[in-house]
A = this chain, B = another copy of it.
Amino acid sequence: MHLPGHILHGGDYNPEQWDDAAIDSDLEALAAAGINTLTLNVFGWAGLQPGPDRFEWDRLDSLMDRVHTRGFGVILATPTAALPPWLAAAEPTTMRVDFEGRRHGYGQRHHFCPTSSVFRAYSGSIAEALAQRYHLHPALLAWHIGNEYGGACYCDHCTVGFRRWLLQAHGGLDELNRDWCTQIWSHRFTDIDQIPAPSALTEHWGGPYRSGFPIITLEYKRYMTEQFAACMEAEIHQVRRFDVEHPVTTNLMGAYEHLDYFRFARELDVVAWDNYPRTDRAWPEMAFNHSLMRAVGRGKPLWLMEQAPVATTCRDVNPTRPPGVLRRWSLQALAQGSDTVLHFQMRTAPAGSEMWFGGVLDHRGRTDTRTYREVAALGRELTRLDDLVGSRVRARAAVLMDWDSWWYGRVVDGFSDHWDLVSQAQGWHEALARYLGGVDITDGRDDLSRYEIIIAPSLYLAHDDVIDALRRYVAAGGTLVAGPMSFATAATGRVLIDERVDALLGCQIEERDAREPDDGVELVLPDATTDTAHHLFEILRPTGGRVIGTWESGWFAGGAAIIRNEFGEGTVVRLGALLSEAGRRRLVASLIEPSPGHPLAEELEHTSRSGTRGTFDIVLNHGQVPLDWTPAGDATDMLTGSRVYAGAPVTIPAGGACVLRRA
């Protein structure tokens, strides 16, 4: 397979929205800004195929040639994320039925039923036609399947498929009744056709997180992931019939709840994602999401497929990126393993719901704007960083998270709804990164032996193989931290009582308590400092482990909050509290030696990448004041050519970055 050796810089371009003159001046302006890659055809279906048996290739043919002539590479999309109106009108079952049981009509995008055989036939066919026509085109860099897969469908066809899938997964109806414990609430099924899709009209009350039978909800989420994967993979297989040279990818969305990307991404050649952070202090969230995307790729290349050069539109408030942010966030993508810097989009759309979603070029196509100048400056810098391509982020630690735990922890009632796995995982990722640099994420199905420490913020649902892997990891000398509700249930969704786990942890749960969000409880950490925990409080019962943290307030004061167990050559810390940010840092500090140059000053981010073209340290200052960082060895800043020296602090300007090639 051919992977580009340079940093892809560019992003989505929708020339169908512009006339020829505009396209010409756009391409000239983009080339001048160091843009080398265009993503085309993401929403081109209605244009390419104006009717069931009719294709119009002229415009795309000429466009491919035109951008090639200008020197751009193309990430070519199968346009299957938005059906043409004629298809929805002729085949209403291609449209989804929502959680409320309502069949939708045509509108928006991302609207197809993932089990619709009509959709699969048409989407496969347009993918095939594109692959056949363009797989040898010299501009082609990669294939982009669909767009931002997600959501769910609850139609009869999906429901029937769910039942079939369940039978296969469980081996039969008796097994399913047993696994699901259907004697509860009189749910024993005597025919597979009695099983409902878990919607607002069946198992749910009070929305998607209140299920009368949470295991059905969990299984439907697993099933939906498989169906969307099958849609995508059907297109991938069409592409690969003609083309095994160019990598195939799609754009994931970071910590996106509704698809289990560990399962979903299995057939991709490259993991790519769209980075639209939700929080004010975005960089730790983005670092986490980059790491998660690396994780679901299990070692495959990582591409940043979309980011907003100006502002998004879909939130209540959509701030514009201030000066310098686009550069820093782009360099962060590289720091976290991306081989691309791709923006959405090249020119702001002239209409539609995203007409204020700012592009590299604005509505007027001006090149004398701040954004254009920043992109052009970035383009120049990126050319100095091509040696990063192909290298991988190095990590001493991993955070363990998986979608089953995320889903089940949200959908099973009890204790407190005011916390969730992802925010915990992000908090631990940040604490580790400050102490160690690059941090991985794992679902426990990777080679764990490379990590000195693994933190499972809340492994709510523990699969047998993951339990075994963690036991092996610890037995061989690893350190595992397992947070609240870890090992709560088995893969069947039933409460987990398991001697293997008891032995690993050296403790059981004595009791759990919960409190309103503002009502904290104090505990003493292993370093004898006090922290305040929130939401959920586990009182632990040592059964071999040693109490290293104790509740200090609440009716359970004196109870065990943290237990340390030696297991084989390694150590398990069972943590019964949702710690504060400071508490997480202190616990990390008590468990592992920092990496050189760490712990980092506030708002500094550092990772190392290494590969055949070198070993690199990228240091980013996300703060408002200059901060120092001390390299462990001599190196050269690839952006400026300056030399830095082991032990001599380097000052990173506010908002600045350096990319060091180790000597």
| A interface with B by C-beta (< 8 Å) | 14, 16-17, 43-47, 50-51, 79, 82-86, 88-89, 100-109, 180-191, 193-196, 198-199, 201-205, 211-215, 310-311, 313-314, 316-320, 322-323, 348-357, 363-364, 369-371, 412-418, 489, 492-495, 497, 508, 510-517, 535, 555
Task: Please give the distance in Å from A212's CB to the nearest CB on chain B.
Answer: 3
Known: A418-B316, A508-B364. A211 touches B44 (CB 8 A): no
Name which residue of chain B comes closest to A212, CB basis.
B108
Other A-B pairs, 4, CB within 8 Å; known A181-B351, A314-B413, A356-B412: A45-B186, A318-B413, A354-B414, A370-B511
Known: A187-B46, A364-B497, A418-B316. A201 touches B350 (CB 8 A): no
Report chain B residues within 8 Å CB of A196. 105-107
Report chain B residues within 8 Å CB of A44. 186
State the majority secondary structure of interface residues on A: loop
List, sorted by A's number, 19 A–B pairs whose CB atoms are closer than 8 Å.
A50-B190, A51-B190, A88-B194, A89-B194, A107-B196, A107-B212, A108-B205, A185-B352, A213-B353, A313-B414, A314-B413, A316-B416, A317-B514, A318-B415, A319-B513, A320-B512, A351-B492, A353-B412, A356-B512
Task: Please give the distance in Å from A434's CB to the nearest CB on chain B.
Answer: 27
Report chain B residues within 8 Å CB of A193. 89
Known: A108-B205, A318-B415, A413-B314. A351 touches B215 (CB 8 A): yes
**Top 9 closest pairs, chain A to chain B, by CB:** A356-B414, A108-B212, A107-B202, A85-B194, A181-B351, A107-B203, A82-B186, A322-B555, A46-B188
Known: A46-B183, A510-B369. A190 touches B85 (CB 8 A): yes
Name which residue of chain B comes closest to A214, CB basis.
B353
Contact of A188 among B47, B105, B494 (CB under 8 A): B47
Task: Please give the distance in Å from A279's CB to the nearest CB on chain B.
Answer: 12
Task: Please give the distance in Å from A130's CB to the nearest CB on chain B.
Answer: 14
- A493 B351 Cβ-Cβ under 8 A: yes
Name which residue of chain B comes closest to A316, CB basis.
B417
- B43 A352 Cβ-Cβ under 8 A: no
- A194 B317 Cβ-Cβ under 8 A: no
Task: Please give the distance in Å from A249's CB to the nearest CB on chain B.
Answer: 20
- B311 A514 Cβ-Cβ under 8 A: yes
- A319 B515 Cβ-Cβ under 8 A: yes
**Residue of A86, A198, A493, A517 with most chain B CB atoms under a 10 A cut-off:** A86
Report chain B residues within 8 Å CB of A356. 412-415, 512
Report chain B residues within 8 Å CB of A43. 183-186
Report chain B residues within 8 Å CB of A46. 182-183, 186-188
Report chain B residues within 8 Å CB of A355. 412, 414, 489, 494-495
Name which residue of chain B comes closest to A355, CB basis.
B495
- B85 A189 Cβ-Cβ under 8 A: yes
Task: Please give the distance in Å from A181's CB to the nearest CB on chain B.
Answer: 4
Contact of A204 among B107, B313, B323, B415 (CB under 8 A): B107
Complex CA distance for A270 and B114, rounded to whole angstroms? 54
Name which residue of chain B comes closest to A89, CB basis.
B194
Task: Please give the distance in Å from A486's CB to the nearest CB on chain B.
Answer: 15
Report chain B residues within 8 Å CB of A310. 511
Known: A16-B183, A43-B186, A320-B512. A352 touches B107 (CB 8 A): no
Name which residue of chain B comes closest to A554, CB basis.
B322
- A213 B86 Cβ-Cβ under 8 A: no
- A102 B105 Cβ-Cβ under 8 A: no
- A186 B102 Cβ-Cβ under 8 A: no
Report chain B residues within 8 Å CB of A349. 181, 184
Task: Please give the distance in Å from A109's CB to the nearest CB on chain B.
Answer: 5
- A353 B188 Cβ-Cβ under 8 A: no
Known: A43-B185, A185-B352, A495-B350. A202 touches B105 (CB 8 A): yes
